Amino acid sequence: MKQVKLVNPLTAYFHGTYDEQPQPVPGIQKKMKPQPDCGEKSYKGHNRLTGRKILVTGGDSGIGRAAAIAYAREGADVAINYLPEEEEDAKEVAALIQEAGQKAVCIPGDLSDEQFCQELVTKAYKQLDGLDGLTLAAGKQHYVEHIADLSTEQLRKTFEINVFSLFWIVKAALPYLPAGATIVTTSSLEAFQPDAALLDYAATKSAIAAFTHGLGKQLAAKGIRVNSVAPGPVWTPLQITGGQPQSAIPDFGKMTPLKRAGQPVELAGMYVYLTSDESSFVTAEVYGINGGVHL
């Protein structure tokens, strides 16, 4: 009997102990050890997004970067948004999109600013010469153990970046999005099983799940589908920049049944599925990808 080479999920990706490695927010992926795997070397496209024009927020690093690389290799032109401090990571993503033979548009700016969110959409539409996909992966996560220590400033910023920007971007994009366009948001396992030290973040991620369910129903009549990915622990800059206490970094992800953190590339297929026509009967849905810690 001939057995094809199978991938053992326990050992398929890094499953050792991470070093503590604090960085200031938003963090530079290039400085992380080990490097998060966003599919730079491994993701193979299959023409599932030929000719599509997609805006990805948080596209410089982590999960958004994995989606951006995959979209380009599936044949889409991609605009990425990120913070100006992240230019170094963003340049690498732009080069990878171009290497895939697709157009890369870089639009840095702060999503907690409503006016910028509107400009972002207009610029993406103009520079991509159309817009038929939004992948909203930017996010802020900063752990605070006690609610008494949670500042109103952090509370406000977390909601502005994680929730308000979705409303602002979708409102600005609706006039451009044709029937068949797809919106993918990024919720979290935290929406369903909140950590005691992530109250503000978890509340935004619940809001994103509710937003996705409701918007999916609202936009169904226009033929626009809206879905969400709800990841568990994934090795990205978000975690080492205060998403977790540094003391939790060495064993990050070890609490999952698969006993390791996920790598961003392990989510790319889901973003591609939800953005492509393969998911044509799927809307208003939230999908977990979290190593066995189910939603």
Residues forming contacts to Mg ion in the complex (CB under 5 A) are 60-61, 86, 237
Q: Which residue of this chain has its Cβ atom nearest to ligand NAD in the complex?
A: 62
Residue nearer to ligand NAD on the CB measure, 45 or 231: 231
User: Do 155 and 198 touch, CB atoms closer than 8 A?
Assistant: no
Residue nearer to ligand NAD on the CB measure, 69 or 138: 138
Residue among 71, 201, 271, 287 flagged as catalytic: 201
Amino acid identity for residue 128 in this structure: L
Q: Is 201 a catalytic residue?
A: yes
Query: For residue 236, what are the CA distances in angstroms to 30, 104, 133, 197, 283?
Result: 11, 22, 23, 19, 27
Residue nearer to ligand NAD on the CB measure, 239 or 276: 239
Q: Which residues bind ligand NAD (CB under 6 A)?
A: 26-27, 58, 60-64, 82-83, 86, 110-112, 137-141, 161, 186, 188, 231, 233-234, 236-239
CB atoms within 10 A of CB 164: 19
Q: Which does 233 bind (CB under 5 to 8 A by kind): Mg ion, ligand NAD, none?
A: ligand NAD
Minimum distance from CB of 203 to ligand NAD (Å)?
A: 12
Minimum distance from CB of 2 to ligand NAD (Å)?
A: 38
Minimum distance from CB of 210 to ligand NAD (Å)?
A: 15
Q: Which does 240 bind (CB under 5 to 8 A by kind): ligand NAD, Mg ion, none?
A: none
Q: Which does 279 bind (CB under 5 to 8 A by kind): ligand NAD, Mg ion, none?
A: none
Residue nearer to ligand NAD on the CB measure, 75 or 226: 226
Minimum distance from CB of 263 to ligand NAD (Å)?
A: 10
Minimum distance from CB of 109 to ligand NAD (Å)?
A: 7
User: Do 268 and 73 touch, CB atoms closer than 8 A?
Assistant: no
CB atoms within 10 A of CB 269: 15
Calpha distance 59→65 (Å, rounded): 4
User: Do 291 and 232 touch, CB atoms closer than 8 A?
Assistant: yes
Minimum distance from CB of 45 to ligand NAD (Å)?
A: 20
User: Could you say which DSSP state residue 149 is in?
Assistant: G
Torsions phi, psi of 107, nearest 5? -130, 85
Residue nearer to Mg ion on the CB measure, 108 or 180: 108
Query: For residue 45, what are the CA distances in angstroms to 9, 68, 79, 89, 264?
Result: 21, 12, 18, 22, 16
Residue nearer to ligand NAD on the CB measure, 75 or 263: 263
Q: Which does 204 bind (CB under 5 to 8 A by kind): Mg ion, ligand NAD, none?
A: none
Q: Which does 236 bind (CB under 5 to 8 A by kind): Mg ion, ligand NAD, none?
A: ligand NAD
* End-to-end C-alpha distance for the chain, whole angstroms: 38
Exposed/middle/buried for 26, CB within 10 Å: 0-12, 13-18, 19+? buried
User: Do 109 and 81 touch, CB atoms closer than 8 A?
Assistant: yes
Show which residues are catalytic: 201
